[in-house]
A = this chain, B = another copy of it.
Amino acid sequence: MSVQRRRMRGFVTLREVASLAEVSIGTASKALNGAGKLSEQTRERVIACARRLGFRPNDLAQSLHRGQSFTVGAISNDSFGRFAMPIMEGLEECLADRSMSVFMCNATDDPLREARHVESLLGKRVDGIVVTGRRADPRAALQVHASGVPVVYVYSQIDDPAALSLLPDDQGGAVLACAHLARLGRRRIAHVSGPERFEAVRLRRSGFQSALAQAGLPVDERMTLCGDWSEAWGRDAVQQLFGGRRRVPDAIFCGNDQIARGVVDALRERGAAVPADVAVVGFDNWQIIAEACRPPLTTVDMNLKQLGREAGRRLIELIAGRKHAGVHRLPCSLVVRASCGAPT
């Protein structure tokens, strides 16, 4: 009645190590895991045999036994885009340090694909799941059913107060940028941002306004402009701000780096010096843009990699049984380059 043995091809089993070392399989296990009481001699012999055979324990079997797989799933809705990637990088780094592996899943905002990935991850018995979004706005909850698998939402949030969500502090980032401008002596600060439907746009604007208030500067509604996230919009906005008869801004806080680059290009082309005449700050610290800008762009960094690392830490804790909930916003930082100049 011997069932056909379907070995993991090319891999040495503990049984083989034990047999070579002429000990029982249980003893071999103890020797290799440094557990229990064993004579030094046996232990060394087993270890030597294991090394000789190139033994590598089968995590699948271990996981099955332990009831923990030491894997987590990471579901991205930003495809493999610019926001998700730094987050994933931090996450992977944090988890790899604790020798957990991460399954990468790409859902690209398709609920069906997302659901399929969740199913598959649950089948793989991941110890936890991290979900990222393309934008920080609220989304529907992940359906992990009764599995009890912990979930962390990064750069995305749901309306369940029991859920844990990690976001960049957009508002704080904007304050950082605008306070910097005010400190440099700028008095008429404009704001050129993206589509108002983005929560990030509203938060950054709110930060802009409160920083100005804090510095005792007036907020001119006509100098707060919304458009799309493109360079072209940045150039258009400069025409609007500088084209009329009105007093002209001496600084522009932009909703992202693309807009900022458009702004800087347009300013240069109409003969306004950056930063001498107008200081410009961006948002995102997207290197390829910020560094290629002329002059290089001072901009707000959302520290997404850190956000990912923090997500990893939190997930580990959730897995360990600790409770975390609510929306947490992590600080941004200001990366100073040349586009704001020195204090005037």
Contact A8 B103 (CB under 8 A): no
Binds B, one of A30-38, A140-148, A174-182, A206-214: A140-148
Any chain B CB within 8 A of the CB of A169? Answer: no
Any chain B CB within 8 A of the CB of A326? Answer: no
| Contact among B61, B92, B106 with A105 in the assembled complex (CB-CB below 8 Å) | B92
Contact B96 A88 (CB under 8 A): no
Any chain B CB within 8 A of the CB of A11? Answer: yes
Any chain B CB within 8 A of the CB of A246? Answer: no
Residues of B within 8 A of A139 (CB): none
Residues of B within 8 A of A63 (CB): 60
| Contact among B65, B80, B86, B116 with A86 in the assembled complex (CB-CB below 8 Å) | B80
Residues of B within 8 A of A81 (CB): 85
| A: interface residue count bin | 35 or more
Residues of B within 8 A of A120 (CB): 96, 99, 101
Copies in the complex: 2
Residues facing B in A66-125 (CB within 8 A) are 66-67, 69, 71, 74, 79-81, 85-86, 88-89, 92-93, 96, 99, 101-106, 113, 116-117, 119-125
Instruction: With both chains docked as a complex, state the minimum distance between the C-beta of A109 and any C-beta of chain B, in angstroms.
Output: 14
Instruction: With both chains docked as a complex, state the minimum distance between the C-beta of A267 and any C-beta of chain B, in angstroms.
Output: 14
Any chain B CB within 8 A of the CB of A54? Answer: yes
Contact B125 A230 (CB under 8 A): no
Any chain B CB within 8 A of the CB of A320? Answer: no
Any chain B CB within 8 A of the CB of A64? Answer: yes
CA distance A92 to B63 in the complex (A): 24
Contact A7 B104 (CB under 8 A): no
CA distance A305 to B308 in the complex (A): 25
16 contacts between A and B (CB under 8 A): A6-B66, A7-B67, A54-B145, A56-B123, A59-B124, A59-B125, A60-B64, A60-B125, A71-B124, A88-B104, A93-B106, A102-B104, A104-B104, A231-B292, A258-B292, A288-B288
Q: Taking beta carbons and an 8 Å cutoff, which residues of A are in contact with B? A: 6-11, 54, 56-61, 63-67, 69, 71, 74, 79-81, 85-86, 88-89, 92-93, 96, 99, 101-106, 113, 116-117, 119-125, 145-149, 230-232, 258, 261-262, 288-289, 292
Q: 8 tightest CB-CB pairs across the interface, nearest first?
A: A10-B148, A80-B85, A104-B104, A6-B67, A59-B123, A231-B292, A80-B89, A10-B147
